[in-house]
Amino acid sequence: MTFLSRFSPKIYAALRIVAGFMFALHGSQKLFGFPSGTPMTDNPMMLAAGIIEFAGGLMIALGVGTRVAAFIASGEMAVAYFTVHAKDSFYPIENHGELAALYCFLFLYIAATGPGTWSLGSKLRKKG
């Protein structure tokens, strides 16, 4: 499947955009109760998580401040895994922490790789 390698910058950008958007939706649920649920802003941990997820997810999706936002998001997911999920079982399949573990390592990779193509940050840097 080496033919796909020529598309890898665009596939990576699509991964970054989709993951960031989906992460932002987790934050919008916690902050605004959108697209479903009830806002959790009365709980300081959920408020902090909602802000990181919403703002960080948008930054990752747009490719602005991507490395910092992805690093913080990765750390948040590690904390979520070990403080919420791992106390039930170490194994993500048993403790329902698969999403937290996956987001943690995905965002760590994005933090290391940067925004790549299709990023608003690179467009803004070229104009300036």
Whether the per-residue pLDDT at 127 is higher than 90: the answer is no
> Which token pair is 94?
């048993």
pLDDT-derived band at 128, boundaries 50, 70, 90: low
Q: Would you list the DSSP string of 12-65?
A: HHHHHHHHHHHHHHHHHHHHH--SSS---TTSHHHHHHHHHHHHHHHHHHHTSS
Which of 57, 45, 40, 50 is CA-nearest to residue 103? 57
pLDDT at 38: 95
- pLDDT tens readout for residues 5-62: 999 999 999 999 999 999 999 999 999 999 999 999 999 999 999 999 999 999 999 9
> To the nearest whole number, what is the mean pLDDT of the chain?
95
User: How many other C-beta atoms lie within 10 A of the C-beta of residue 71?
Assistant: 16
Look up the pTM and report it.
Answer: 0.93
